[in-house]
Chain A
Amino acid sequence: MAKILLIEDDKAVADSLSFVLQRKNHEITHATNTISAKHELGSKSFDCAFIDVWLGEEDGLEFLADNGELFSETPFIVISGGGPGRTLENVTARADAYGAVRMLFKPFEDTELLDALSLALESGKG
């Protein structure tokens, strides 16, 4: 069982991801914004984090860039379906440059999600 932080503002997406991950007996903590995510990362340890790029008005990758120390022990996977201002190609490059274990393009299959998680858990971080 892995402890997973899910940073996602869309409740439907969060519920869907949680359902798949919990079915594999993983423990999910859900943060809907960067303030909540920062609080969770500062008070608990996680084996992996999933972070959506567009969190309402917030940029999840900006959060990663500004808070690298919070993720020093936690591998993270970036999720995006595209959004305002940046191309998905640019978002992917940024996610890679900030150290994401994998980038998932929405919509994705359950197997892609679980494969990415396996990769993160094997990454040596955490």
Chain B
Amino acid sequence: MLHAINEHMKKNGAPPLAQADRRTRGLALLLEQTARLIYDEKHPQALHAVQWSALRFFDRAGEQTRTVAGLAKYLGVTSGPASRTTSSLLKRELVSVKPSPSDSRSRVYELTKAGRDILAEDPIQRVAFLLTELPEEDLSVLARTLDKIYSGLDT
């Protein structure tokens, strides 16, 4: 269905809001407002969403992939932005770097204690905690629904 909507929007542009179904528009707005609430820290030192993504990646990736190239692949960006994100985390001493034991040309990143400490306060955990209260059936439906919406928006 999302494919059909995308095709329609490519040909005719997005429908005016007044024409969209009120209920689905409300749901779309709730989704957007929920996403905005996740990273609600406004002070200058607050990490950006992409920096949180990088910390999560360095936390769970194996030694062979904890590199700038690995992060670039994970985020779906070129090496420039991945390198800048990694540098910002290095500057804040949230990650450290060492030569790769298997490839001397490559540098491997890992979380420092400060990085692990800040990741323990990952804002996504607040959402995950709230979701633990949903029954299994609702979680399955939510997973499929969000996957479909993401897929529809990403094509």
- Interface residues, chain A, CB within 8 Å of chain B? 65, 68, 81-82, 85-90, 92, 94, 97-98, 103-109, 112
Contact = CB atoms under 8 A, between A and B. Distances in A.
B147 A89 contact: no
Given A68-B140, A107-B65, A108-B65, 5 more contacts: A89-B76, A90-B76, A97-B146, A98-B143, A112-B62
Interface stretch (B19-27, B35-43, B53-61, B88-96): B53-61
A92 B75 CA distance: 11
Per DSSP, chain A at the interface is mixed
Nearest to B142: A97
Interface string B59-85: 011111100001001111000000000
16 contacts: A68-B140, A82-B73, A88-B73, A89-B74, A89-B76, A90-B76, A90-B150, A92-B60, A94-B143, A94-B147, A97-B143, A105-B62, A106-B65, A108-B64, A108-B65, A109-B64
Contacts, number: 53
A113 B140 CA distance: 27
Nearest to B57: A89
Interface of B: 53, 57, 60-65, 70, 73-76, 139-140, 142-144, 146-147, 150, 154-155
A96 B5 CA distance: 28
B82 to A, nearest CB: 12
B144 to A, nearest CB: 6
A81 B142 CA distance: 26
Contacts of B64: 107-109
